[in-house]
Structure 1
Amino acid sequence: MLKRVLIANRGEIALRVLRACRELEIETVAAYSEADAEALHVQLATESVCIGPARAADSYLNQDALLTAALATGCDGIHPGYGFLSENADFSDACAKAGLTFIGPSGEAIRKAGSKSAARDLMKAAGVPVTPGSDGPVSSVEEALAAAEAVGWPVLLKASAGGGGRGIRRCDGPDELPAACAEAKAEAAACFGNDEMYLEKLVLNPRHVEVQILADRQGHTIHLGDRDCSVQRRNQKLMEEAPAPGLSPALRRAMGEAAVRAAEAVGYEGAGTVEFLVDGENFYFMEMNTRIQVEHGVTELVTGVDLVRQQLRIASGLPLDMGQEDVSIRGCAMECRVNAEDPHGDFRPCPGKVEFLHFPGGAGVRVDSCLYNGCTMSPYYDSLAAKVLAHGATRLETIRKLRRCLEEFTLEGFPTNAELSYEILFHPVFVRGRCTTGFLDAHLAELLDFSRRVEEKEAEA
């Protein structure tokens, strides 16, 4: 087992990794920027080391600083969390070269899965359905136009190295393509240091369903069921649930088997996610995320499997301690992402100081957050403030429990989207389990109008 792990991340995922390490009696080193000096995981780690200024490029994305910190503090492993360097093949290779265990897949596997265009070819060869699109990356507007005409409009331009909804643009016709190409390439270069793009036909209003997989070094790969992530805005997920509602047994089985084939095709090791678009009984490979996901908690609640613990075991060279036949899904779990943002102000990020904080509790309730009373959310990073999760025996029980949790959830000091999530939990389309990726765009105005009326009544009172 690993002895000492550098946590190369921040926020709630850094705290999540720290807690799993402590339960396995693994010492932790918190690598933090100057902006995160008072962060909770920094205070709780065995040791902490500042790696640079607030700007991510000078700290959490500074590979040399992270490697130096890990070696100087006697670490034998680095956990990248999600985001930042978690899907950076060069960083995985650099860890191995420095004699450190990267808690995730090899650089080779990340390259195979991380390039979305290359991964499509691998999936085709592995018998995993893919959406019609370009044969590899498109290097010019002309190539993109030819590919779009071949598959039919509308289309999506997507960054080959993308993730988290970045580097994606929709085009409904040829006139929109030049500007969309320029915007997507610029965003991809800024976010991932790679502006390579590919093109797919846009499946209108599909469901976004992903399958969690685990794979060890001994060649064993299993899946831990599926999650629905269709409630999203601008390709950013807002709510997730496991299992995905309304899938037929045949479709659920086929997606699980396809996810395992996908992981095996890239020689995967660790925890990962295979994401699909679902259109009726058809499903198409979208991408593979070679890291732990923000929404991993809902899978943990319905399976009883600690995914971060499994990451640490696999990285230590241990085989999976379960087979596919040991995986069972119990009940339903849902997650709301509470972000420091103003839904009435075009979701403008609004970080600030936490003046008062209260988290809900009770059986089947979990809150993942790094916030505490008096702390300050930094404006330099993402706006995720907390993840509120609920687990129940049935989907309706879980919805009711999550409503109650959001009624109790209190965060004073800056605006959040918690009220919007609360309203979604009452919307008939959501309650019936019929959301597609177009749900929030179609119903956002009415959801925000209702929450505004509630806020006005509270102000009058």
Structure 2
Amino acid sequence: MAPTTDWYQDNPLTHRDRRLAASASEWARSFACEDLKPLIVCRGPIRKEAMDVFDEMGITHYGILLSEKDSIVYPNALAPELRQLTDNRRVHRLPDYTGASKEERVERMHQIVQIAHDNGYDSIFAGYGFMAEDEEFVATVEKAGLKFIGPNSEIQARAGKKDEAKRTALEVGVSVTPGVNDVSARTLLKKLPTRKKLLLVVEARELECDPAIVNDEKAPLEVLAEHVLQGCYAKGIDMFTIEELAEQVQHEVATMFRDHPASRVRLKAIGGGGGKGQRILGASLLSHPNPTAEQIELAAADAPAAVREILNEVKATGVGDNKNVLIELNIEQTRHNEIQLLGNGKWCVSLGGRDCSLQMHEQKLLEVSVTQEALAAAAARAQEAGKDEEARALLTDLEILKRMEADAARFGEAVGLDSASTFECIVDRDRYYFMEVNTRIQVEHRVTELCYALEFANPDDPADTFRVESLVEAMALIARHGARLPKPRRVPRFAAAVEARLNATDASLSPHAGGLIRYWSKPVEGEIRDDQGICLPNPDTGKFIRYRVAGAYDSNIALLLTKGEDRLDSYQHLAKVLGYMRIRGVNLATNLEFHYGLVNWFIGQNVMAKPTTRFVVPYLTLLGRLKEEASKVDPTFGFVEMKKHYARQAGVEYPGDPAMAKAVAEVLDRKSTLLTRPILRLLEDPHLFAGWLSLFRHNYRIEDGRLIWIRNALGVLNDTYEYLNMVHDPKAPAAEVIWQHDHELIQKPLRFYQQLRHTFGLERQEYYKLDEILRNEAPQGGYDADTWAHIRAAHFGFQSGNELLGMLFMLAEKVRFFDFRVEENLDVTIPEYLNDPELQARMKKVLVPPPATKADEIVAVCGGMYYGQEAPGRPRFVHEGMHFEKGQPLYIIEVMKMFNTVRATFSGTVEKVLMTGGDGTIVQKGQPLFKIVPDEKFVEVDPKEVERERRARTGEYLKAVLTTFAEKFSASEQRAEEKRAPRAGRLKAV
């Protein structure tokens, strides 16, 4: 499909005239924002979006902030927006956005404010990153007399801090996740267990505390302790060490393990977000419904290290930082739903939901719209189709969504929400729990924008209205005219929307830092590509400009969105977008194939499925099993063996007739590349393979260990070429499409079978019935004897060799691929063995083999920033001469804002530390870090043995799919000798 040349104009999310100043309505003109002068202090797609929206609103005096860290860490990683914003007076630079320490963070805040003052900006837009929900930053902006385009500092404190938000939720009657919200106060009370001692601290430290709480002798100690801590934060005082906090967290975690057997516990820094500052503990207890005290203590012993890690990630290790950590029960069968909120301080409206359950490492991957209208329509369709269980499940979700939206709006009104925010929830079947509020716009906000617009009406004239379709525009409107804006009405736009995050990750979804994009295909019809302007062509040449993925902050390259008449329609559009997309470069890895396979997996199962947040890792583990088994199959060898099989059968069925054997061989030779090219492509990529299997899983059945085609294998083969986007195109490179002679080989029989189906009144999925008819030697369907003989010979020729495609289904059966499935009630069944941590770790290495290394070296598993200790002041993980055990931490890699602890995969002794740079040093994937002596000697695999295993396994699959001549072409034992040669001639003619 040819790309749309005017995509940037057709994109339903961009390039709309939003200039209220040009409205015919005097009332609407009063809400113009052209005098707003914002400084954009965020990066990624939201920066480009804000630039576009401000341009469309008529806001001409805006600027952007760039971090020099991008180009320092990865040379030439320039912001692509600079192709659009050519006025360098509106481009401002900082070493980085937030600084590496508390002191640097404060310095950055004041630098940003100074840049705004020096350049005439009156407001700050922070998007969804860095300081967007940083209470201290927002307060600094406000004190400087600038507007913050987002929730104000008071909202950031009441709703943005996870502990405060849970307290507010409880106050307004919202169900919250079970856990401990005040572990920092409990840590303080362990040191100062009485009211008298707490008040002595208030007096000695001269803390500013509310007299009503200080003088209330009936106030719970926990409340007073929390109040004392707030006073300490204000003065930059620490009342306990991180080690003391970690010890208290360990105690609370152990208590939760005892109270909730066979459950895990989640730790969350109160200032975290976007996946940062979270760890899950207790995986070892999931299989123990009645854990022993020793097992509980062992699992809880991981808590101190986890506390240090998450505080490091959110940069809350400085003196006076709020180090509170939430300890929550990790609800295992949970879906992650969120409600979009918008308020102006007086009113608050909800704009539907989004399902963000498909995530990994707390990073969302695929986000789907959830609206009351769409759920009601889907439930009605299910009822009409007689799918009662599915209908009940959808109606349950509808009721939950109504409750979540009502509770979210009530929460927003309670805190006086004055901008865009997101009310995040955990959904567990027919219940939901409030999780947190993100006091900022979300990465996936455009999913909501596609489903709903906002209509503002003049209170004095309801017919006088204006419409807002962008949340960024709504945030700017509120910042400029908040109190005057009347409560809007939400207006449905499209029925469904879905967003895939195109990230720089490898096949196992681990971050892959750096990489150069040399080519990116143009967007196709129906694609909404939010790519930070990477695809903006050179304004002089119209050519694609090479782009280096920085990787210093996060792994996102683009947000890919589609809309539709229902969820299936939006998924099918997304599958087309992902399938046609081509992105190539140097040292570049993306999750494009993962998304294509996953979206097609759901299309083949049920797009209304209810996957939990535990879906992705077992799914990847299954794909590892698929790849592992695929590596044991050789389609080229299989094709040769299949030819031998046919030759042997020809000798049995037609003894003394070499013409028939020769004709069969020639027919098969013509099909060699037609069959092997797509099969090889699927076997090479488990993501593509998984999507294909799900789509075509109803095209066969197994009888007595043999594969029987329900649908014509040639039709499946033709659709496979379409699925792999290898359709015939004379202008495309031959390596990317079906070859001309193969195209003709498949189109002719498809027309042949279409005519036969019409003759016998059969549907496409009734090929097995047609096959039975064609086994009859006696003419059928009104054909004469000679024509019928030609038809049967053609059928034999067209079907010969197609069995090779069936090996793919037998491979899937071998690894129990279809045990991972969507049930009638929309629950996803995950085979228990896929939750085995050891299997998951092994399959991760199958998906992405570790970098080549010598037996006496340990190398960096990926590129990023190297750290040799858990936190400043902690002992080094590794030193020369030490012995390490399997599973022991060796180093930490910070890549794309996440800290990844790398553990030893075997035991050994460190002979020499090769990594001489200090913490924060950039390392490359495969770079030697330590010279070691392993405890066990590595044994190399014999390649000849591997090849023997591949051929043996391929032979096993062939036995299950190959048919004999008698099964395929039921010839009479009494056929006359003179009829054999004509049959061979007819076959060769085909």
**TM-score normalized by the length of structure 2:** 0.44
Shift in Å, 1:286:
0.6
Relative to structure 2, which stretch is displaced further, 21-30 or 268-277?
21-30
1:158 to 268, 286, 292: 268
2:95 to 44, 50, 53: 53
Report matched runs for 1:279-294 at 5 Å.
Answer: 279-294=428-443
State whether residues 225 and 329 of structure 1, in contact with CA within 8 Å, keep that contact through their aligned partners in structure 2.
no
- Counterparts in 2 of 1:89 and 1:48: CA distance versus 1, 3 Å: same
SS of residue in 2 equivalent to 1:349 = coil
Q: Which residue of 2 aligns with 1:380?
A: 552
1:257 to 406, 411, 414: 406
Q: Which residue of 1 aligns with 2:13?
A: none
Q: Which has the higher helix share?
A: 2
1:28 to 59, 62, 70: 62
Q: Which residue of 2 aligns with 1:433?
A: 609
Aligned residue identity for 2:430: E
Shift in Å, 1:51:
2.6
Q: Write the distance in 2 (CA, Å) between the matches of 1:430 and 1:159.
A: 36
SS of residue in 1 equivalent to 2:113 = helix
Q: Which residue of 2 aligns with 1:122?
A: 168
Q: Write the distance in 2 (CA, Å) between the matches of 1:116 and 1:185.
A: 18
Report matched runs for 1:25-174 at 5 Å.
Answer: 25-26=58-59, 27-34=61-68, 35=70, 38-45=78-85, 47-53=89-95, 57=99, 62-138=108-184, 139=245, 140=248, 141-150=250-259, 153-172=263-282, 173=285, 174=296
State whether residues 132 and 440 of structure 2, in contact with CA within 8 Å, keep that contact through their aligned partners in structure 1.
yes
SS of residue in 2 equivalent to 1:214 = strand
Q: Write the distance in 2 (CA, Å) between the matches of 1:226 and 1:77.
A: 29
State whether residues 207 and 278 of structure 1, in contact with CA within 8 Å, keep that contact through their aligned partners in structure 2.
yes
Structure ID, larger Rg: 2
Aligned residue identity for 2:607: V
2:598 to 405, 418, 424: 424
2:583 to 411, 424, 427: 411
Gap regions ≥5 residues in structure 2: 1-32, 72-76, 185-244, 286-295, 317-321, 376-393, 454-468, 536-544, 628-680, 689-723, 725-733, 737-990
Shift in Å, 1:317:
2.3
State whether residues 215 and 320 of structure 1, in contact with CA within 8 Å, keep that contact through their aligned partners in structure 2.
no
Gap regions ≥5 residues in structure 1: none
Shift in Å, 1:251:
1.5
Shift in Å, 1:436:
1.1
Report matched runs for 1:315-394 at 5 Å.
Answer: 315-318=479-482, 323=487, 325-328=489-492, 330-344=494-508, 347-363=510-526, 365-370=527-532, 371-372=534-535, 373-394=545-566
Q: Which residue of 2 aligns with 1:224?
A: 351
Shift in Å, 1:330:
3.3
State whether residues 172 and 411 of structure 2, in contact with CA within 8 Å, keep that contact through their aligned partners in structure 1.
yes
- Counterparts in 2 of 1:19 and 1:329: CA distance versus 1, 3 Å: closer
- Identity of aligned pairs, percent? 30
Q: Write the distance in 2 (CA, Å) between the matches of 1:411 and 1:276.
A: 35
SS of residue in 2 equivalent to 1:337 = strand
Answering whether residue 231 of structure 2 is matched by residue 189 of structure 1, we say no
SS of residue in 1 equivalent to 2:45 = helix
Aligned residue identity for 2:46: I
Aligned residue identity for 2:683: R
What is the root-mean-square deviation in Å for CA atoms of aligned residues?
2.6
**TM-score normalized by the length of structure 1:** 0.92
SS of residue in 1 equivalent to 2:182 = coil
State whether residues 162 and 192 of structure 1, in contact with CA within 8 Å, keep that contact through their aligned partners in structure 2.
no
Q: Which residue of 1 aligns with 2:912?
A: none
Q: Write the distance in 2 (CA, Å) between the matches of 1:223 and 1:337.
A: 24
Q: Which residue of 2 aligns with 1:14?
A: 47
State whether residues 513 and 549 of structure 2, in contact with CA within 8 Å, keep that contact through their aligned partners in structure 1.
no
State whether residues 30 and 41 of structure 1, in contact with CA within 8 Å, keep that contact through their aligned partners in structure 2.
no
Q: Write the distance in 2 (CA, Å) between the matches of 1:319 and 1:357.
A: 45
**Residue-by-residue CA offset, 1:145-201 (whole Å, 9 max, x unaligned):** 335534553221221112112222222253222323422432233324254212111
**Residue-by-residue CA offset, 1:98-142 (whole Å, 9 max, x unaligned):** 111011111111111222122111101111111111142354222
Shift in Å, 1:324:
6.1
Q: Which residue of 2 aligns with 1:446?
A: 622
State whether residues 60 and 66 of structure 1, in contact with CA within 8 Å, keep that contact through their aligned partners in structure 2.
no
State whether residues 276 and 313 of structure 2, in contact with CA within 8 Å, keep that contact through their aligned partners in structure 1.
no
Q: Write the distance in 1 (CA, Å) between the matches of 2:315 and 2:337.
A: 24
Equivalent pairs counted in the alignment come to 458
User: Which has the higher relative contact order, 1 or 2, with Cα contacts under 8 A spaced 6 or more apart?
Assistant: 1
Shift in Å, 1:56:
5.1
Shift in Å, 1:328:
3.1
SS of residue in 1 equivalent to 2:472 = helix
Shift in Å, 1:88:
0.4
SS of residue in 1 equivalent to 2:273 = coil
Aligned residue identity for 2:523: P
Q: Which residue of 1 aligns with 2:571?
A: 399
Q: Which has the higher strand share?
A: 1
Q: Write the distance in 2 (CA, Å) between the matches of 1:392 and 1:321.
A: 31
Q: Write the distance in 2 (CA, Å) between the matches of 1:144 and 1:265.
A: 31
Q: Which residue of 2 aligns with 1:201?
A: 329
Q: Write the distance in 2 (CA, Å) between the matches of 1:320 and 1:232.
A: 39
- Counterparts in 2 of 1:302 and 1:287: CA distance versus 1, 3 Å: same
Q: Which residue of 1 aligns with 2:642?
A: none
- Counterparts in 2 of 1:203 and 1:232: CA distance versus 1, 3 Å: same
Q: Write the distance in 1 (CA, Å) between the matches of 2:119 and 2:441.
A: 25
SS of residue in 2 equivalent to 1:210 = strand
Shift in Å, 1:320:
7.9
- Counterparts in 2 of 1:43 and 1:56: CA distance versus 1, 3 Å: farther
**Residue-by-residue CA offset, 1:407-428 (whole Å, 9 max, x unaligned):** 1222211110010011111224
Q: Write the distance in 2 (CA, Å) between the matches of 1:418 and 1:50.
A: 33
Q: Write the distance in 2 (CA, Å) between the matches of 1:243 and 1:281.
A: 16
Q: Write the distance in 1 (CA, Å) between the matches of 2:360 and 2:169.
A: 27
**Residue-by-residue CA offset, 1:264-304 (whole Å, 9 max, x unaligned):** 23221100000000011100001100001000011011113
Q: Write the distance in 2 (CA, Å) between the matches of 1:85 and 1:294.
A: 15
Q: Write the distance in 2 (CA, Å) between the matches of 1:253 and 1:321.
A: 25
Q: Write the distance in 2 (CA, Å) between the matches of 1:42 and 1:70.
A: 19
**Residue-by-residue CA offset, 1:69-114 (whole Å, 9 max, x unaligned):** 1111100110001120001001111111111101111111111122
Q: Write the distance in 2 (CA, Å) between the matches of 1:192 and 1:54.
A: 14
State whether residues 343 and 349 of structure 2, in contact with CA within 8 Å, keep that contact through their aligned partners in structure 1.
yes
Relative to structure 2, which stretch is displaced further, 42-51 or 327-336?
42-51
Q: Write the distance in 1 (CA, Å) between the matches of 2:252 and 2:685.
A: 50
Q: Write the distance in 1 (CA, Å) between the matches of 2:623 and 2:307.
A: 29
SS of residue in 2 equivalent to 1:241 = strand
